[in-house]
Chain A
Amino acid sequence: MKSSKGLLPLVLIAMAGWWLSTHRTASDWRYLKLLVTQLPKMPFRYFV
């Protein structure tokens, strides 16, 4: 259980690395920026 918890950040980092390595155009970065900037607002939007 303890070792699987320790693996989780590694898996997430690997997934993020894979995503970044396959999404490298200016459009991809723009879409990522949009999602990252909107992410903190989404929990509040859920209640509307």
Chain B
Amino acid sequence: MFATTHQKIIAKYFSNDDVLASMAFQSFYAGMPPDMCAGLYAIAGLVEHTGIHYPKNGGMIGIPDGIRKAFEELGGEVRLGARVTHIITESRQAKGVLLSDGEEIMAGNVVGAINAKKVYMEMIGRGNLPWHVWRGIDSMELSMPCPMIYLGVDYEPPLNAHHTLTLTSPEVMNDYWSKNYLKGRLYVVDGKPEIMGLVSWASKIDPSLAPDGKHVLTHMGLAPYDLATTDWDSYKEQYIDEAVATIEKYIIPDLGKHIVFRDMATPRDLERMLLHPGGAVYGIQTDLSHMAMFRPANRSKSIENLYLAGASTHPGGGVCTVIAGGIITAGLLVDDNS
């Protein structure tokens, strides 16, 4: 599972191209194509097919909302719009956080739930870390960004599942990575860009997410952060057009005629809004060299009283994996403070 790849693991059990594509796509959650992702991550395909990726009510935002409610019921206070700029340290001990408005909040423990590179390299800083720790965090590779398109449509889309792919096979995914993605380009078929990705039909599971008779779709694409010929702010609207054309070609003919709302979060937007370096929503990539003890630890090894959670820590990126990591970090906090 560790020494082989995601693609090899799934090829042991499946041969149909559509099934292989649906099981291989999850490697991109780890930030890599199926032939470069660690075999252990093949479990994500199984998790996806069991359906536990989808909250039954309230869409994905229902997950952080639920965590917030639970935290408040336990007496916690949640402050939104309060951006942390620095983690205050003293003799390699976390003492609190500094907010962008200059307020300092002192605390016995600090938990960083954003990308670990951002936590260590910007919020703590090189001068507060041992040189070998700095070198380690600096060497870590980011996962690929996932531009998100949000669509409102005026009808029930002709889909038969919550998730539908516009990809055809693991080979296409691997080919895209080496020949296009790494060169800052999107996939091109017959001279036209095709936006690979996953269409999620959230209002199929929870109709309350859209007005009566209408539905919401999201498209999670696979695209580089640094584009070879343009930048994301300029390319945004064209990208949506190209993604809709790709969806029309493969899974929903005439989708464009039914769109009543469209918006997207580019990798640059994800970086600005969520502080993901490189727009990497799945944190640090999950190949063998970035897993387990080689991934940022949930309890910092270099800064006392500092804990980390989220996609860039152990065990990795993706909703279920991040929740598992949060449980590990919470357990460590409880153990260390009891």
Interface secondary structure of B, over-half rule: helix
Interface check A48, CB cutoff 8 A: yes
A39-B297 Cα distance, complex, nearest whole Å: 19
Let me know if A44 and B35 touch, CB within 8 A.
no
Residues of B within 8 A of A46 (CB): 136, 293-294
Residues of A within 8 A of B139 (CB): 41, 44-45
Number of residue pairs across A and B with beta carbons under 8 Å? 60
Interface secondary structure of A, over-half rule: helix
Let me know if B288 and A35 touch, CB within 8 A.
yes
Interface residues of A in 14-48 (CB under 8 A from B): 27, 30-31, 34-35, 38-39, 41-42, 44-48
Let me know if B295 and A45 touch, CB within 8 A.
yes
Taking a contact as CB atoms closer than 8 A, the residue among B120, B132, B178 that contacts A44 in the complex is B132
Taking a contact as CB atoms closer than 8 A, the residue among B120, B289, B296 that contacts A38 in the complex is B289
Least CB distance from A39 to B in Å reads 7
| Contact A45:B36 (CB < 8 A) given known A31-B5, A34-B287, A38-B289 | no
Least CB distance from A29 to B in Å reads 10
Let me know if A42 and B289 touch, CB within 8 A.
yes
Taking a contact as CB atoms closer than 8 A, the residue among B7, B120, B301 that contacts A27 in the complex is B7
Interface check B290, CB cutoff 8 A: yes
Let me know if A44 and B136 touch, CB within 8 A.
yes
Task: State the A residues within 8 Å of B (CB).
Answer: 27, 30-31, 34-35, 38-39, 41-42, 44-48
